[in-house]
Amino acid sequence: MQWGFRWYGEGDTIPLTNIRQIPGMHGIVGTLLNKMPGDVWEISEINALKASIEKEHLSLLGIESVAIHDAIKAGTEERDHYIDHYIQTIRNLAACDVHMICYSFKPIFGWAKTNLFYQNEDGSFSLLYDQAVVDDMEPSEMYTLIHSQSKGFKLPGWEEERLKKFHRLMATYEGVTQEILFDNLSYFLKRIIPVCEEVDVKMAIHPDDPPWEIFGLPRITKNLEDLKKIMDIVDSPYNGVTLCTGSLGADPENDMVEIVHALKGRINFVHFRNVLFMGERKFKESAHLSTEGSLDMYAIMKALVEVGFDGVIRPDHGRTIWGEVAMPGYGLYDRAIGISYLQGLHEAVLKEQMQSKGGKSV
Ligand SMILES: [Mn+2]
């Protein structure tokens, strides 16, 4: 496995010099925040990002995300033009020796929470989702809510400017059912995956967060059944998933261990995060430890080792702790604690496995 950390570029409050000091850290899952969906990522821009990371002796392990233009998701007549751009970006990333792209195929809302700074009993803060709050809201109000709580941080996908385009966006997706959205994803994958195979770039689709329908918008990455259907569109290891344990795991019906085994060979990226169920469709993002949330993180790590996962893994959202001022979910401290815990689980699982095979402990 390669241990990674998400980093938003030079504007991130967390310097690479700090990330580098986290034990066992291999590199960064990065992005170009100035790129709009549909833009071609130029080789010079990718190389500049890469150089800034390599200067700190870290590697650029993959991209999160190269966003998909709404024309592709909604299947409008401009989609081929934007798929051509996407293909050029894939080729340019490959030319810069970057081989993994995380993406999502969700209309309008990439992720949703109803409280970005829910105060836990110990004084730390977590992101929280409560369906009851969403049920009382108009979709456009979600932007106002997220923006009002973001403490000045720009949250990807929730920029206030996007709200201005919101009604136009809603119109773009009018009549786009779950079936149509799936067909549009099929069209996209059938065009890009042959290129990914040619240049060795693995795609990793991110599941819905939360993994159920909100505001009546279609969602096609909610559970194992959905993901298997997507894997079947193009049966190739280059058409893979981002196993986001906190996204899929927010639905107690999703058995994470079963999902890992069923997606053997198709998990191209892992987001490791725990959630605590607080009621019907209500949960918060807890600390990573199994004892702090509702997921069995040991069992998930064990399953990943059993299926031979050897890609990039990173700690997902952490709590805001120790008075840190950072983007909600993306502070340094709790993610650093989280990754050390994951590394501990991984080492234990590996050594257990070796001992049970009668081999010598490493
Ligand atoms: Mn995730």
- In angstroms, the CA 305 to CA 114 distance is 34
- Report the separation in Å between the CA atom of 77 and the middle of ligand 1, taken as the mean of its atom positions: 30
Task: Provide the residues around ligand 1 (an ion) whose CB is within 5 A.
Answer: 244, 271, 316
275: CA distance to ligand 1 center in Å? 12
Q: Which residues of 204-229 are buried (b: 16+ CB within 10 A; e: fewer)?
A: bbbbbbbbeebbebbbbbbbbebbee
* Helix H or strand E segment including 102: strand 100-103
Ligand 1 mean position to 316 CA, how many Å? 6
Residue 336 three-state SS: helix
Active site residues: 206, 244, 271, 316-317, 330
Whose tokens are 């080789």? That residue is: 43
Give the integer Cα–Cα distance in Å for 141 and 362.
Answer: 54
Closest CA to 284 of 313, 323, 332, 320: 320
Question: Is this model's pTM higher than 0.75 or not?
Answer: yes
CB 60 within 8 Å of CB 162: no
Q: 219: Cβ–Cβ under 8 A, 6 or more apart, which residues?
A: 106, 178, 208, 211, 212, 213
Q: What is the C-alpha separation between 300 and 267, in angstroms, rounded?
A: 13
- For residue 246, the CA-to-ligand 1 centroid distance in Å is 7
Tens of pLDDT, residue by residue, the chain (362 residues)? 999 999 999 888 999 999 999 999 999 999 998 888 999 999 999 999 999 999 999 999 999 989 999 999 999 999 999 999 999 999 999 999 999 999 999 988 888 899 999 999 999 999 999 999 999 888 888 888 888 888 888 777 776 666 677 888 888 888 999 999 999 999 999 999 999 999 999 999 999 999 998 888 899 999 999 999 999 999 999 999 999 999 999 999 999 999 999 999 999 999 999 999 999 999 999 999 999 999 999 999 999 999 999 999 999 999 999 999 988 899 999 999 999 999 999 999 999 998 888 765 54
Residue 71 CA, ligand 1 centroid: distance in Å? 24
Q: What is the CA(115)–ligand 1 centre distance, in A?
A: 17
> H helices within 294-332, ranges in order?
297-306
